[in-house]
Amino acid sequence: MKKISFLIALLFPLTLIAAPKFPFPHNAKYPYGIKPASIDNGKIQKAYDDFIKEFYEENGDKARIRFDDPNLTVSEGIGYGMLITVYMDNATNNTQGKFDKLWRYYNSYLNNNGLMHWRISGFGGVSGQNAATDAEMDVAMALVQAYKQWGDEKYLNDAKSLIDKIYQFEVNSNGYLKPGDSWDDKKNPSYFSTAALESFKRVNSRDWAKVISTSYSLLQKCANASTGLVPDWCSESGAPQGDFYYDAIRTPWRIAWDYVWFGRSEAKSFCSKIASWINTKTGGNPAAIIDGYTLDGGNKGNSLVSTFLGAFACAGMVDASYQTWLNNAYSKQEEMVSKSENYFSSSLKMIYLLLLSGNMPDLWADNIPQKFKLNISIQPSNA
């Protein structure tokens, strides 16, 4: 019997897989802000299933997220995919392998600074040179959370390494986030993921407090005084370049994320102004949201898409006075789960749903309950 057991061990090496300590659904109560009154986790699961089916593609030990042109992948999409998979893991979804393959893809297309080139042709060559900072922000944040989710120190070490590269190559001498590692002639407010910057302080000793400060300072400078809307791009002095369009729309989500995790007063002020404006603009009807506005509140877009709906819903998370708006906007966002949308809207729809519903908690926080067990799986050897 011992010989048989030994033979089995040789032929089928045991792989110990730590189940997620924080399986989906999390149903967390954030330390700050509010959540929708009614949440259907089944809708979030459907959104995840649809996202994986439509946009996630594996090739050997790597995986990518398909872009609008399915022959392309952008580094931003790898960041979105890693955020989604770190929070959606459970015994059914089994996302750790997907997370690892996305991270391996990122590392397969590094530039000389050790950061992923921003656009890749499938699993082939580089088609867009050098890095985009928003991708690094999300990938690094996903790695920081992955360490707590799965308990493997490799994620922590990888996070430390990437975060240091972000500071070295994507923060300028004035402490502002650059749009990429190879250029810095303008800034993108939607790259200011201040929740990630705060999280970086836990594992890296660089001056992230200054980067947070410059981010909020620039948001204040470039925001319209009446609407609170920020442009897609701006100068370092805050001069707007563009409207509140498909880049800028991510800003309310990123800043609301900072508020519900860390309670930063600047985050609340930023989101409150936008939530108040959109509530008035639409008469409290989220279905009236369109995909684009001028900074002074004029109409630029034409239709309702998840990219804009979910972001304006996130803005309402910062204060109980927006509870009705949040309830209605989230309900409409759940309706949009059944709508087929492009890569960008589908990715953000999934992330918005996670944050809005309490399924995107800070896994480093002391008040998040853990559920842990050890799964042992037998996998055939490749030998």
Tell me the per-residue pLDDT of 17-70, one tens digit each, with 9 for 90 and over.
569 999 999 999 999 999 999 999 999 999 999 999 999 999 999 999 999 999
Catalytic residue among 50, 89, 134, 291: 134
| pLDDT of 77 strictly over 70 | yes
377 within some domain: no
Catalytic residue among 50, 76, 136, 243: 76
**Rounded to whole angstroms, how far apart are CA atoms 11 and 51?**
36
157 within some domain: yes
**pLDDT number for residue 2:** 42
Task: Look up the domain containing 312 and give its range.
Answer: 21-352
| pLDDT of 299 strictly over 60 | yes
Determine the length of the chain: 383
Query: Is 134 known to be catalytic?
Result: yes
Q: What is the pTM of this model?
A: 0.93
- Identify which of 269, 139, 257, 130 has the alpha carbon closest to the alpha carbon of residue 193: 257
- Identify which of 283, 281, 285 has the alpha carbon closest to the alpha carbon of residue 300: 281
- Identify which of 326, 310, 335, 327 has the alpha carbon closest to the alpha carbon of residue 276: 326
- Mean pLDDT, the chain, as a whole number? 94
Question: For 221-229, what is the mean pLDDT?
Answer: 99
Specify the DSSP element, H or E, that contains 63: strand 62-65
Tell me the per-residue pLDDT of 136-182, one tens digit each, with 9 for 90 and over.
999 999 999 999 999 999 999 999 999 999 999 999 999 999 999 99
Tell me the per-residue pLDDT of 113-126, one tens digit each, with 9 for 90 and over.
999 999 999 999 99
Question: For 82-96, what is the mean pLDDT?
Answer: 99
**Overall number of domains in the chain:** 1
201 within some domain: yes
| pLDDT of 380 strictly over 80 | no
Alpha helix stretches (DSSP H) within the chain: 2-11, 41-55, 75-87, 96-107, 133-150, 153-170, 194-200, 208-222, 250-262, 265-282, 306-315, 323-335, 343-357
| Residue 74, strand partner residues | 119
Q: Which two tokens stand for residue 152?
A: 């493997």
**Rounded to whole angstroms, how far apart are CA atoms 15 and 98?**
16
Question: For 343-369, what is the mean pLDDT?
Answer: 95
- Identify which of 246, 247, 267, 248 has the alpha carbon closest to the alpha carbon of residue 257: 267
2 within some domain: no
CATH number of the domain residue 236 falls in: 1.50.10.10
**pLDDT number for residue 31:** 98
Tell me the per-residue pLDDT of 233-271, one tens digit each, with 9 for 90 and over.
999 999 999 999 999 999 999 999 999 999 999 999 999
**Rounded to whole angstroms, how far apart are CA atoms 383 and 378?**
15
What's the Cα-to-Cα distance from 304 to each of 285, 326, 329, 343, rounded to whole Å?
Answer: 12, 16, 12, 16
**Rounded to whole angstroms, how far apart are CA atoms 100 and 4?**
33
For the CA atoms of the chain, what is the radius of gyration? 21
Confidence label for 367 from pLDDT (cuts 50, 70 and 90): confident
Tell me the per-residue pLDDT of 313-328, one tens digit each, with 9 for 90 and over.
999 999 999 999 999 9
